[in-house]
Structure 1
């Protein structure tokens, strides 16, 4: 029995029948390559499925080995996920290209016995000359190495976000999350994640297609970057209207922007922004498009075509690690491919210091747009007038599709079972709340939205 669409081992793919003593060697080789790579455990060299036993324990063991056996730190540079193929469980380890090359086996040191590079389908020792060359180019201006100008930082907001994911940040959390320099001081990543900072993300809105008539300018920031990111996502989700057109045969609904691509573009712009220049990304809404501009350039050594392949090269591994812990970032390296499913490569514009993504709005009739906006306002007002209970708070909040976690967070409820039994299920059974994926009620991508009021078009959209 073969694994999926079997591909032979190569520059970016390695199969392992089981976790072996040479595992870290393969990871080091991918970390030191330009594009990173993937290791599948539970598949032999011929691509035949053998599976793994106790996959949960194996995941934990892999994470622990990568954290402790490789230097410099690999935190934020790898992802470990469980797969199922036929009746076999597999482990997929996604390894990004690191920015602090050369990476090496800690016990062997920065030497040919500890440093490896991927050549074809093999991991080969580096020469001393290559090791010295890579070390000379090592990036030293990353936000993990820059000392925060302020050291009296607090992290209550970050701790709340971790608690909502059933994690508790202990007294050593700053060190564990790599928010300190080698000298033990808070670094710039810590500054961005602190309760108060000087980073503010702007969302501007213009009347027309140029920057002449600015009609709205919101700032989301001076707080934990996670909180600012969630605020920007919420703002753009509100702006991303659903337009409805009734035809003789069916009702056609379309959102201005593809919601999946929009979310990925926003998170990519923030997580991969070059904050060492102290310039945050910005978001600009025009009458016909959204423009997202982030500071930075294509990773060193990459061409534009290679950029679009989707290899993960994190600009800020400390932010990447936190955003993945909080389930804001999904599988590593998936962002660009999801955006390109909805928008062409020509949507990206590169310059030496900035990357801009231009996402055009879907073509809709102006009359339909105005009618839908008016209907949405009326529906919101009706729900607002009745918002005197928890159930009505949910209906008001879900005028735009929301996940189960977002609704619970909005209500301040932590008990998932109570929320489902006492609030969510009754609203679904009464038809007041609807699923975005009705055919897949247990899907992890499931969201919920308020049913149309008196025939008013809803803002249903698959997110």
Structure 2
């Protein structure tokens, strides 16, 4: 592990800094949350608020204490790595926790109240729905594969479902219904799965009252005044088209005059809108009550959110790189059969590519509380002029990977004070990160953020 690469990062889903090993309960909660969510790294000897590297006075003693703490207080037994690493004259402890199939819990708090997950840079106690999802992951089953024993197969509109399949030249035979887990044999009778009800249920609201898409067009940049709204309660493949139509109806159109005719240019690239809506429907956590999939159109952006964070074991970085992990296997497979999904893991990349090609800012992907949100931005991206001093800085960092205030002053031929102010501004703009033992550390260096 290159420690400098860790120190320049901000705390988040897979990283936490602690000044020391106390209080021990907070340490246990962080490690349990990492194991249950997507893995992570705990660095001891760094102040979490200022990221000052203070080190540990007796790292060997702390290492032994941590090993005993984890062995005695985390259930089931957790595999983790504890390392002592040096940075300048400071000794740090780095605890690396892989994502493991749990649920893991803090022994003293018990299996019902001691399960934690990672939400952003915080550790949150998991509720019953989250614990149930982790338990399903442990036995490799999915919420939408579970039987709906309250009804029988007549609750599914197979005529409508067959029409969707016919549109892509496929037949929805009885054998295919079983192979897609739309229906399963349970207790000696044939029953639909939850996924089948969500996809093609005749009365789906009676079983899943929140499985609707709420769309709204707001005036301005916030939710103070809405101009239009719609509640989409349709079979999921049809819901995609209805949600896309709502957005296209309310998104502005620009005009481009050609030699022959005028061409209408959509404010947002249609592939990005479509991918965002499909992703929200396919990856929504339908086990969470009281939450809907939402589409909000503002003057400057579109926000599309769905219940549920990224599936456990998946980080945002991995998802952006194309790693795919389904939350709803039945819904996902049916959408793939209907050619609504082209390739697993390609959705985010297609959104980014569509926006970039249209000259727009790239979409923003974020986990918000217990939901996941995609934001598409309108407006062309202006390319600002890059000053020569900034080019010099990038060239220096490409070669040396870091720069001090004195080095920057010499590079730019300005005073130390002016160089420090310029570097500080880049830190505030989230371009650079500073690494040091404190505000007055004479050996403080600056590196590109996330590098």
Q: TM-score, normalised by structure 1?
A: 0.45
The structure in which a higher percent of residues are helix is: 2
Q: TM-score, normalised by structure 2?
A: 0.46
